[in-house]
A and B are shown apart, each in its own frame.
Chain A
Amino acid sequence: GAGVSQSPRYKVAKRGQDVALRCDPISGHVSLFWYQQALGQGPEFLTYFQNEAQLDKSGLPSDRFFAERPEGSVSTLKIQRTQQEDSAVYLCASSKGTGGNTEAFFGQGTRLTVV
């Protein structure tokens, strides 16, 4: 597709349920980022991949959060045993990542509501 695609757009999960959020980056983009955006706040960095390698996961809030990008393309963010504080919009972004001022393009996000 032409842009970053995320699915589902909306997810309602019961507390304690596991969820998986998918990101299809722009074709050929090397770098992929996940951000969490709480209501009324700016996005906060979660993790970063270069191809299939997860180079930075310093923003993951707990060990319940796990991200993977096994073939260097599609990425999945998994949240285990969801809690109410996990409710947020999860944004994925990708960039060419070839070095030197490469813009990251964001998807529309997945809005997760934990009830």
Chain B
Amino acid sequence: GQQLNQSPQSMFIQEGEDVSMNCTSSSIFNTWLWYKQEPGEGPVLLIALYKAGELTSNGRLTAQFGITRKDSFLNISASIPSDVGIYFCAGDPKSNFGNEKLTFGTGTRLTIIP
């Protein structure tokens, strides 16, 4: 099935560094979501974006909904050890998500080097 393209695939950073990852699609989505998944767990929602051009923050996380509705990025500032995990973007063709299937990205694995 279709998966959104995420880059980079993996990141190795030092604690305190800022992180940036992005997600692109060949088709338009009306809602963009960012999830984090830790080993043995299901994805947990971090940020939801509902409007093209929207910039939304959640603590140290900032995400933007691309103006073309075909991309999104996620930034994490001042990384800490508990940020380790796999980050997934997801797109929803509808503008009121929760009642529609999501298309997930391929994931970005974040590792913090001691």
- Which bucket holds chain A's interface residue count? 20 to 34
Query: Smallest Cβ distance from B24 to chain A, in angstroms?
Result: 14
Q: Is B42 an interface residue (CB 8 A)?
A: yes
Say which one of B11-19, B44-52, B62-70, B75-83 lies at the interface with A. B44-52
Say which one of A13-21, A63-71, A76-84, A105-113 lies at the interface with B. A105-113
Question: For residue B107, which residues in chain A have a CB less than 8 angstroms away from its CB?
Answer: 40-42
User: Which listed residue (A31, A42, A45, A103) contacts B106, Cβ 8 A?
Assistant: A42
Q: Is B32 an interface residue (CB 8 A)?
A: no
Residues of chain B from 3 to 22 with CB closer than 8 A to chain A in the complex: 3-4
- Given A41-B107, A43-B104, decide whether A31 and B45 contact each other with a Cβ distance below 8 A: no
- Given A93-B42, A106-B42, decide whether A44 and B96 contact each other with a Cβ distance below 8 A: no
The tally of residues in B whose CB lies under 8 Å from a CB in A reads 26
User: Which listed residue (A42, A59, A104, A106) contacts B98, Cβ 8 A?
Assistant: A104
Q: Is the CB of A102 within 8 A of B1?
A: no
Q: Is B43 an interface residue (CB 8 A)?
A: yes
Q: Which 4 A-B pairs have the closest CB atoms?
A: A106-B42, A102-B98, A42-B104, A45-B101
Interface residue ranges, A against B (CB under 8 Å): 4, 31, 33, 35, 40-45, 48, 50, 56, 58-59, 91, 93, 95-97, 99-109
